[in-house]
């Protein structure tokens, strides 16, 4: 972000200089071939050179005008056509310009010559020999092809450079968004007696707004708050919204509020400050290991899964499940679930069940529930997460990840410290 690049597009002034050099070169060649100074005028050599330059510039001015007309009126229609059609059309316009220039030379030559040699008169005529006109046609063909090819090259360079700048800008934005997204997530799990907890967030190629976080209770070592969130949209906006939501949750958690009260309170400022197309689906849960219960409020997030005695159960909350920030007035409610030793909880975003393979099949809820059930014999929450992820990756194969994958795995474990 903020990195500058030199402008590699060929400026118009350089193109005009190239045309000027071509016209000058042809004038010099014509002057050298037809060099016949006037004996009674010692300055005739330089004067004749000036006259030949005037002739050449005059004719090339006609060519440039016709090529400009070609570009203004016909280029948009022809730039998608084949190269042969482009060059043939440019050749025709260049030839028309040359012909007009040669026609006007019949009066311009006399005028330019009389300025340098007032006492000398000339009669300028265009040769009607076949060889002469064939030579002119070949010369104009080369000029026309050069004009169109060079202009095409300039446009391609311009388009390529704009694409390059846009890619660099997007890459910088994605890197910054990814840093912001990963920066609000915890580097390690908190130490809560009776709970083994692990979380993971794998951003997709296109950065989204998924994140998870922990909120340890300062006044009780037996309580732990946590959230799993999914901000709508992609890129910088989603990452900035995730940072804003994270800050609001931490501020409310410091007040010691309940989960439903926290989400109700942050909903209003999020609605006011967020883009109308931006909203945040999140679940905020509180584990109380002293009371052996799990209280959560679900604001538009997928229902968490409870694995108990080999059976999967979806934990559905009552009350509104609207994502925070989507509407102004929402009164969220909480749901409390009793816990037993050995229970396992999985809170996740839709990047898991909507992960697709090369046949555009989704991983789906049945596969996820099966993968979750197969973690029943794994003691470590971190290893259980890795087991689920490995099954997702095996299913998707080489297909790129289209959405963030975020999970928090909780094992009610009496042996954890």
Distance in angstroms (rounded) separating the CA atoms of residues 400 and 283: 27
Distance in angstroms (rounded) separating the CA atoms of residues 142 and 137: 9
Q: What pLDDT is recorded for position 125?
A: 64
Q: What pLDDT is recorded for position 5?
A: 37
CA 369 → CA 218, 305, 374, distances in Å?
Answer: 34, 8, 9
H-helix or E-strand containing 262? helix 259-273
pTM summary value: 0.62
322-357: pLDDT as tens digits: 999 888 889 999 999 999 999 999 999 998 999 999
Q: Which two tokens stand for residue 12?
A: 């118009």
* Beta strand residue intervals within 272-396, DSSP E: 280-288, 293-299, 305-308, 311-314, 335-338, 344-348
Distance in angstroms (rounded) separating the CA atoms of residues 382 and 395: 20
Phi, psi of 381 (to 5 degrees): -65, -35
Q: Which of 207, 204, 200 is nearest to 179 (CA)?
A: 207
Domain 184-412 is in which class?
alpha beta
Instruction: Give the total residue count for the chain.
Output: 417
95-149: pLDDT as tens digits: 788 788 878 887 888 888 788 887 777 666 665 555 665 676 676 666 656 665 6
Give the model's confidence band at 71: pLDDT under 50 very low, under 70 low, under 90 confident, else very high.
confident
Query: CA geometry: angle at 134 spanning 128 and 137, to 5°?
Result: 110
Would you say 95 and 147 are in contact if contact means Cβ atoms under 8 Å apart?
no
Would you say 43 and 120 are in contact if contact means Cβ atoms under 8 Å apart?
no
Q: Which of 61, 55, 60 is nearest to 113 (CA)?
A: 55
Distance in angstroms (rounded) separating the CA atoms of residues 318 and 325: 19
Q: Where are the alpha helices (DSSP H) in 127-234?
A: 130-183
Q: What pLDDT is recorded for position 106?
A: 77
Distance in angstroms (rounded) separating the CA atoms of residues 409 and 411: 7
Name the average pLDDT for the chain: 81
Q: What pLDDT is recorded for position 208?
A: 65
Distance in angstroms (rounded) separating the CA atoms of residues 195 and 339: 11
Q: Which of 403, 337, 348, 396 is nearest to 375 (CA)?
A: 348
Q: Which residues contact 124 (CB under 8 A, 6 or more apart)?
A: 105, 106, 109, 110
Q: Which of 236, 284, 253, 247 is nearest to 269 (CA)?
A: 247
Distance in angstroms (rounded) separating the CA atoms of residues 243 and 237: 10
Taking residues 224-252, report their average pLDDT: 85
Distance in angstroms (rounded) separating the CA atoms of residues 391 and 379: 18
Q: Could you state, in order of their start, the residue ranges of all structural domains in the chain?
A: 12-175, 184-412
Q: Which two tokens stand for residue 374?
A: 């197969």
Least confident window among 156-165, 226-235, 316-325, 337-346? 156-165
């Amino acid at each position: 972000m903020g990195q500058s690049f030199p402008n590699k597009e060929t400026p118009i002034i350089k193109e005009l200089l190239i045309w000027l050099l071509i016209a000058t070169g042809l004038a010099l060649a014509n002057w050298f071939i037809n060099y016949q100074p006037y004996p009674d005028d010692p300055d005739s050599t330089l004067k004749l050179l000036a006259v030949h330059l005037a002739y050449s510039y005059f004719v090339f001015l006609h060519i440039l005008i016709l090529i400009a007309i070609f570009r203004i009126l016909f280029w948009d229609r022809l730039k998608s056509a084949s190269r042969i059609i482009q060059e043939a059309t440019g050749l025709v316009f260049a030839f028309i310009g040359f012909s007009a220039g040669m026609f006007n030379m019949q009066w311009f030559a006399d005028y330019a010559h009389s300025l340098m040699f007032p006492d000398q008169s000339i009669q300028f005529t265009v040769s009607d020999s076949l060889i002469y006109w064939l030579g002119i046609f070949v010369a104009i063909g080369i000029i026309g092809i050069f004009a169109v090819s060079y202009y095409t090259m300039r446009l391609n360079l311009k388009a390529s450079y704009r694409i390059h700048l846009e890619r660099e800008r997007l890459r910088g934005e994605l890197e910054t968004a990814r840093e912001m997204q990963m920066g609000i997530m915890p580097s390690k799990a908190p130490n809560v007696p009776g709970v083994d907890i692990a979380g993971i967030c794998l951003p997709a190629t296109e950065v989204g707004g998924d994140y998870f976080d922990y909120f340890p209770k300062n006044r009780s070592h037996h309580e732990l708050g946590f959230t799993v969130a999914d901000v709508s949209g992609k890129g910088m906006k989603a990452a900035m919204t995730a940072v804003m939501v994270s800050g609001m949750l931490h501020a409310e958690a410091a007040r010691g509020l309940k989960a439903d009260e926290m989400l109700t309170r942050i909903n209003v400022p999020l609605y006011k400050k967020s883009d109308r197309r931006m909203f945040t689906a999140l679940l905020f849960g509180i584990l109380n290991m002293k009371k052996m219960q799990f209280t959560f409020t679900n604001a538009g997030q997928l229902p968490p899964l409870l694995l108990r005695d080999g059976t999967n159960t979806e934990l559905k909350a009552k009350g509104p499940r609207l994502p925070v920030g989507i509407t102004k007035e929402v009164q969220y409610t909480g749901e409390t679930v009793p816990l037993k030793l050995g229970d396992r909880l999985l809170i996740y975003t839709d990047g898991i069940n909507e992960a697709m393979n090369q046949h555009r099949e989704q991983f789906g809820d049945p596969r996820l529930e099966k993968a979750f059930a197969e973690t029943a014999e794994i003691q470590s929450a971190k290893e259980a997460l890795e087991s689920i992820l490995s099954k997702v990756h095996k299913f998707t194969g080489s297909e790129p990840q289209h959405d963030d994958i975020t999970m928090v795995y909780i094992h009610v474990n009496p042996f954890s410290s």
